[in-house]
């Protein structure tokens, strides 16, 4: 038990239930979590959750533990599942690939990207946009959602840090199939662009 005692245990559990816990954000709470992790695992297991803790990367969160159909009918979900749209899923995938490339080439631990760089990375896979401002707004909206989810941290000067917790959600096996997934994303984008152009041409002919 840490010096924080029951108060420290409660603080750790409540913080985990609210979202991701980062070592850099609250070092004292992080130390309490490391000291109490066995007890925390047992406690959240009773809530149908599983503790994911990466001490090397400095983050922790709780997720739904695998349960059978009978349990699912009896235990309400404390952490709801999120349905991610195409644009958000695509951006997460591209940022995960950037992180893998960064780790392979750099000895640094923080991947920081400018908004313009992120925009160029995503541009090929988004439906054709005649208005650059609208495209920027769309990417900014998706970035905002990912910031709220805790995968990216907004920094001053239109800079964004890709947080390493993303590695827990997009694993190495997923990356192994990434080229095939990107081809599907690109096909989706081209199809959407063709539909957009077709509607635009119809409007012009009517005019």
Give the model confidence (pLDDT) of 57-82 as tens digits.
899 998 877 655 554 445 444 445 55
Domain count of the fold of the chain: 2
Do 44 and 108 lie in a common domain? no
pLDDT in tens, 36-45: 999 999 999 9
Q: Tell me the CATH number at 110.
A: 1.10.10
CA 205/CA 16 separation, integer angstroms: 57
Task: Specify whether 52 is located in the same domain as 106.
Answer: no
HSE value, Cβ hemisphere, 13 Å, CA-based, for 7: 3
Instruction: Answer whether 0.95 is exceeded by the pTM.
Output: no
Q: Which domain holds residue 66?
A: 5-74
- Inside any domain, residue 80: no
Has residue 197 got a pLDDT over 60? no
Residues 193 and 118 occupy one common structural domain:
yes
The answer to whether position 31 is within a domain reads yes
């Amino acid at each position: 038990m840490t010096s924080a005692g029951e108060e420290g245990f409660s603080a750790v559990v409540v913080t985990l239930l609210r979202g991701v816990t980062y070592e850099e954000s609250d070092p004292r709470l992080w130390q309490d979590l490391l000291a109490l992790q066995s007890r925390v695992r047992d406690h959240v297991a009773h809530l149908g959750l599983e503790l994911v803790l990466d001490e090397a990367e400095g983050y922790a969160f709780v997720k739904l533990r695998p349960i059978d159909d009978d349990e699912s009918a009896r235990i309400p979900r404390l952490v709801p599942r999120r349905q991610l749209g195409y644009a958000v899923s695509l951006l997460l995938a591209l940022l995960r690939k950037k992180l893998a490339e960064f780790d392979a080439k750099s000895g640094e631990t923080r991947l920081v990207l400018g908004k313009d760089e992120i925009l160029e990375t995503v541009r090929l896979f988004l439906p054709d946009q005649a208005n650059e401002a609208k495209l920027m707004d769309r990417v900014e909206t998706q970035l905002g959602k990912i910031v709220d989810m805790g995968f990216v941290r907004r920094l001053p000067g239109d800079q964004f840090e890709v947080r390493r917790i993303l590695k827990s959600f997009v694993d190495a096996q997923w990356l192994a199939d990434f080229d095939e997934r990107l081809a599907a994303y690109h096909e989706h984008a081209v199809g959407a662009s063709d539909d957009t152009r077709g509607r635009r041409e119809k409007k012009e002919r009517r005019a």
